[in-house]
Amino acid sequence: MSKFINPFTDVGFKMIFGQEISKPLLIDFLNNLLEGERHITDVQFLDKEQLPESKEDRGLIYDVYCMTDTGERIIVEMQNRSQSHFKERALLYLSKAIVEQSRRGSDGNSYEISAVYGVFL
pLDDT per residue of the chain (121 residues) written in tens, 0 to 9: 568 888 888 888 888 888 899 999 999 999 999 888 888 999 998 887 777 777 777 777 888 898 888 889 999 988 877 888 888 989 998 998 898 887 655 566 667 788 999 998 8
Domains held by the chain: number: 1
Using DSSP's 3-state secondary structure scheme, residue 5 falls into coil
Q: What is the pLDDT of residue 69?
A: 87
Is residue 41 in some structural domain? yes
Torsion, Cα 100 101 106 110, to 10 degrees, reads: -100
Is residue 3 in some structural domain? no
Q: Which domain holds residue 45?
A: 10-120
Is residue 37 in some structural domain? yes
Q: pTM for the complete prediction?
A: 0.80
The CB-based long-range contact list for 34-37 (8 Å cut-off, 24+ gap) reads 34/117
Is residue 1 in some structural domain? no
Whole-angstrom distance, CA of residue 31 vs CA of residue 93: 21
Using DSSP's 3-state secondary structure scheme, residue 109 falls into coil
Q: What is the pLDDT of residue 94?
A: 92
Is residue 89 in some structural domain? yes
Using DSSP's 3-state secondary structure scheme, residue 111 falls into strand
